[in-house]
Amino acid sequence: MGKKLTKRAEDYSKWYNELVVKADLAENSSVRGCMVIKPYGYAIWEKMQKQLDQMFKDTGHQNAYFPLFVPKSLFEAEEKNAEGFAKECAVVTHYRLKNDEENPGKLIVDPKAKLEEELIVRPTSEAIIWNTYKNWIQSYRDLPILINQWANVVRWEMRTRLFLRTAEFLWQEGHTAHQTKQEAIDEAIQMNDVYAIFAEEYMGIPVIKGIKSESERFAGALETYCIEALMQDGKALQAGTSHFLGQNFAKAFDVKYTNKNGDLDYVWATSWGVSTRLMGALIMTHSDDNGLVLPPRLAPIQVVIIPIFKSDEDFNKVSSYIKPVIKNLQSKGISVLFDKRDTFKPGFKFNEHEIKGVPIRIVVGPNDIENSSLEIFRRDKMEKETINIDEVFSKVDFLVEDIQTNLFEKAKNFTNLNTREANNFEEFKDLINTKGGFVSAHWDGTKETEELIKRETKATIRLIPIDGATEKGSCIYSKKPSNQRVLFAKAY
Amino acid sequence: MGKKLTKRAEDYSKWYNELVVKADLAENSSVRGCMVIKPYGYAIWEKMQKQLDQMFKDTGHQNAYFPLFVPKSLFEAEEKNAEGFAKECAVVTHYRLKNDEENPGKLIVDPKAKLEEELIVRPTSEAIIWNTYKNWIQSYRDLPILINQWANVVRWEMRTRLFLRTAEFLWQEGHTAHQTKQEAIDEAIQMNDVYAIFAEEYMGIPVIKGIKSESERFAGALETYCIEALMQDGKALQAGTSHFLGQNFAKAFDVKYTNKNGDLDYVWATSWGVSTRLMGALIMTHSDDNGLVLPPRLAPIQVVIIPIFKSDEDFNKVSSYIKPVIKNLQSKGISVLFDKRDTFKPGFKFNEHEIKGVPIRIVVGPNDIENSSLEIFRRDKMEKETINIDEVFSKVDFLVEDIQTNLFEKAKNFTNLNTREANNFEEFKDLINTKGGFVSAHWDGTKETEELIKRETKATIRLIPIDGATEKGSCIYSKKPSNQRVLFAKAY
């Protein structure tokens, strides 16, 4: 713990970096750009995984596992995809080390063990998976294929930040194959919706759904659906993407099926993924100057109970008093930590669990026994009250729901307040530079204008809203006609 | 499906290879030695993971995640460990591809993007983890550290077989740090016991617990505890290992802690792991000439229900008749597949679920409705009977338990029958060559004798039994004195 956390208003970026470490979520490793996800951070990720996995299975998907490596010749088969990832690939070239004869005890790469064909550490798995699907698909009876994979991927990023951008990250990638274009589009939209529901109901993060402009699209996709969320510093974060891949990969890997009429046709594809980047979104959306704030549904510890005691006798009394409460809460599926460590003082524990974002804290001491009371504290509002011990179950039930709702409402309110319209480029620049947030504006639909706006303001098109109201207008930059506003923001 | 499965007696190895593919568990990929784990195989692995993960958490462990890559300088720090894995390492040397100017559309490794220090794709994570623990451990208050990681690892094997030996495999690796030698030894033994309980109670695989001889020990360990199981062809398979690492890694990475007296000392370590190799053990222990046989506790589908129908009307009748049964079974936590596909005939479905080892099959047709009956079939004994529909719940309950027990008892009996004593080298060679199985024999405790026996018979010391009865005897090979029999076998 030690030093105080930097305040958000002082330096948001520094606040984030410090918080991730102080809350014991993750740290940088000795491998450039790769992180160590510590047990507390990983426990949150496990909760996210469990819920997402259930949602994938409920929508008919199964898990499978494909190789970590992609032979270069497969990697380059879908050219756009290959081009999109070529500049950030970790490449395996050798399969053996040998003793360095000039430096006893040291090893060198054995030049005799050079691979005939280099292997790419997967930055994403479309290539290796579609090369596999080729053998699984002959007829319409083999379709759809609805598969998800939980895996690690590597993209050699030059500037990395814990969770938000790391060379290796953990994710899930869904890869589906369909008979028709419409079925694939429906799948891509469905999974983007699943992400939106997960983000809002479990992470407490309000998101906006939309599609990406061509230049922000996934390399190799015909359409990228996405969810975007607004962070407290007014920058947007892409929280999940779902791609309609058309027949691009089927063509690159020659994957055809015989339809019911006996005709051969290429298969239609989607892919969709969320990653440990969601941890970054979770941290940045809710946390405050006191540390992490976690929504109860994803908190590894929902209630921490801290006993106050100066003697073993006191501890035993307090312990007997509170044990039935612990048992009862646990039987209701609430995760409770009874922090009875005698190697740390209560003040240290208060601080530790505050910075780690435990949603509810209960404190009990010898005086509470006489009064049949206990102190209960909610992390989101930093409010405490003393209640009768009989009220504790209904109070915890209430808080678990109320904190979850409160965090979402607060973030929703923030997003609404920070989504503004601009009707000309001066207004736009002013909003982007002084207020941040989402700026809703007309755009002429061209790459060129998008690029020019980006160059001048650093803002990018985050999404074209789905079901957005059509509205005649003119592009803020080129003044050419436009039928719909799109959302701009500076982004992570 | 198509062609019949090779019989075990004909060619055990071919039977295994065919079965893995026909039961839809896994297949070879286009990356040398790497497999694709198909959804049905992965579903079994998920069930194994879930149970093991719970057992690790119940014994106080937490999950975390460490980098895929190990910088060469860290990899070589613990010399014995490095030496043990150096010859099978995938090495990343570059971090970028570029367009091949001579071959448009093709990519080549960018020679300008050579890493200053090569990265080893982890074959095991002791090095990267102990380099991290160094910063986590200062005092006795930071100990013990009890961490597990679920991950993929790569060992460049020259001869690979699905699940049993693959270049990339999935596993869990526990890495713990302790104040005292005894605490670390206790941990290593505890986790070996956890593996034994899991193997016997969930996988239905009887195992023998023991320690490895020095030459079979994990590279860098002071003691390797293990569980060994006997396959149907009389070869042994190492199903799990748990290592007492002493202070080797603490010394290599300079990890010291201040004890309660204020003195500095090196930390004591363990590591322990099981992998997708367990899938191979599961398949080989129970399966027969008709295909896979699965213990109900790990079967993704415990009961398959196949309706017999020739018309939509028939289907609707049968469906209404059986739906309450499905609901009721599911509400009791039984996983049920109602295989109502009309694109496949019943005979095809029977065969498919038989080869995929679904423990219980129920068949219902229009005639059953009149008789209030159904047909129930148990895969392990290939026995079917017709019962009253009212009996189905108690029957399924019984079978889920009975099949689990029967598989274990059958395998246990097989192991007992194939564990024999040899009292001289002639007897030993005869047993190893004609009967296979475990051979219990006296050994003089030297590497040299172990090596000579191996060279002559291909049998290795699988383990030195823990709590094995001491018995004075003389080594079958050198005739030197010995205090305990050890178990030899040919092994996977």
Instruction: Judge: A68–B121 Cβ closer than 8 Å, yes or no.
Output: yes
Distances (CA, A) of B401 to B291, B397, B405, B406, B414: 21, 7, 6, 8, 20
pLDDT-based confidence at residue A466 (cuts at 50, 70, 90): confident
pLDDT-based confidence at residue B468 (cuts at 50, 70, 90): confident
Q: Which residues of B fall within a CB distance of 8 Å from A147? A: 39
Rounded Cα distance between A90 and B91, Å, is 10
Size of interface A-B (CB pairs under 8 A): 188
| B370 has pLDDT over 60 | yes
In eight-state DSSP terms, residue B122 is: P
Q: Which residues of A fall within a CB distance of 8 Å from B66? A: 29, 36
pLDDT for B474 = 96
> Which of B1, B24, B28, B29 is the mutation pick for testing A, counting most A CBs within 10 A?
B29
**Is the Cβ–Cβ distance between B395 and B361 less than 8 Å?**
no
Rounded Cα distance between A338 and A362, Å, is 9
What phi and psi, each to the nearest 5 degrees, are found at residue A188?
A: -60, -40
Rounded Cα distance between B441 and B422, Å, is 5
Which helix (H) or strand (E) segment holds residue B246: the answer is: strand B236-246
Q: What is the mean pLDDT of residues B206-229?
A: 96
Name the architecture of domain B421-489: 2-Layer Sandwich (3.30)
Q: What is the mean pLDDT of residues A468-481?
A: 92
pLDDT for B366 = 95
Which tokens belong to A284?
A: 């940045």
pLDDT in tens, B5-52: 999 999 999 999 999 999 999 999 999 999 999 999 999 999 999 999
In eight-state DSSP terms, residue A431 is: I
pLDDT for B2 = 54
Q: Which residues of A fall within a CB distance of 8 Å from B74? A: 30
> Which of B91, B106, B134 is the mutation pick for testing A, counting most A CBs within 10 A?
B91
**Is the Cβ–Cβ distance between B82 and A99 less than 8 Å?**
no
Is the ipTM higher than 0.95? The answer is yes
pLDDT in tens, B281-338: 999 999 999 999 999 999 999 999 999 999 999 999 999 999 999 999 999 999 999 9
**Residue ranges covered by each domain of chain A:** 12-286, 301-399, 419-489
State whether residue A469 is helix, strand or coil.
Answer: coil
Select the residue of B88, B121, B151 nearest A92 (Cβ to Cβ): B121
Instruction: Judge: B74–A30 Cβ closer than 8 Å, yes or no.
Output: yes
| B1 has pLDDT over 90 | no
Q: What is the mean pLDDT of residues A69-96?
A: 95
Percent of chain B having pLDDT more than 70?
Answer: 99
Among residues B310, B269, B29, B333, the alpha carbon closest in space to that of B133 is found at B269
Three state DSSP letters for A46-78: HHHHHHHHHHHHHCCCEECECCCEEEHHHHCCC
pLDDT in tens, A47-67: 999 999 999 999 999 999 999
> What is the CATH number assigned to the segment(s) B12-286?
3.30.930.10
Select the residue of B31, B39, B156 nearest A63 (Cβ to Cβ): B39
pLDDT in tens, A236-279: 999 999 999 999 999 999 999 999 999 999 999 999 999 999 99
| Distant-in-sequence, close-in-space partners of A149: CB < 8 Å, separation ≥ 6 | A63, A64, A65, A66, A125, A129, A172, A173, A174, A175
Rounded Cα distance between A434 and B488, Å, is 76
Rounded Cα distance between A64 and B39, Å, is 5
| B167 has pLDDT over 60 | yes
Rounded Cα distance between A71 and B32, Å, is 9
pLDDT in tens, A326-381: 999 999 999 999 999 998 999 999 999 999 999 999 999 999 999 999 999 999 99
| A1 has pLDDT over 70 | no
* B40: closest chain A residue by CA: A64
The per-residue pLDDT of chain B, averaged, comes to 96
pLDDT for A2 = 54
Which helix (H) or strand (E) segment holds residue B82: the answer is: helix B79-85
Closest CA of chain B from A49, distance in Å = 13
Q: Which residues of A fall within a CB distance of 8 Å from B159? A: none
DSSP-derived secondary structure for B170-239? EEEEEEEEESSHHHHHHHHHHHHHHHHHHHHHTS----EEEE--GGGS-TT-SEEEEEEEE-TTS-EEEE
Instruction: Judge: B92–A96 Cβ closer than 8 Å, yes or no.
Output: no
pLDDT for B158 = 87
Q: What is the mean pLDDT of residues B212-224?
A: 95
Name the architecture of domain B301-399: 3-Layer(aba) Sandwich (3.40)
Instruction: Judge: A128–B90 Cβ closer than 8 Å, yes or no.
Output: no
* A69: closest chain B residue by CA: B31
Q: Helix A392-417 and helix A312-331: axis angle, to 10°?
A: 70
pLDDT for A468 = 72
pLDDT in tens, A396-406: 999 999 999 99
Class of domain A419-489: alpha beta
Instruction: Judge: A65–B76 Cβ closer than 8 Å, yes or no.
Output: no
Q: Which residues of B fall within a CB distance of 8 Å from A91? A: 92-97, 109
Q: How far is CA B220 from the centre of its chain?
A: 22
Closest CA of chain A from B72, distance in Å = 8
The per-residue pLDDT of chain A, averaged, comes to 96
| Distant-in-sequence, close-in-space partners of B312: CB < 8 Å, separation ≥ 6 | none
Percent of chain A having pLDDT more than 70?
Answer: 99
Instruction: Judge: A36–B71 Cβ closer than 8 Å, yes or no.
Output: no
Alpha helices in B356-472 (DSSP H): 366-371, 392-417, 425-430, 447-457
Q: Which residues of A fall within a CB distance of 8 Å from B300? A: none
Which tokens belong to B222?
A: 């002071």
Select the residue of B93, B154, B343 nearest A93 (Cβ to Cβ): B93
Instruction: Judge: B94–A94 Cβ closer than 8 Å, yes or no.
Output: no
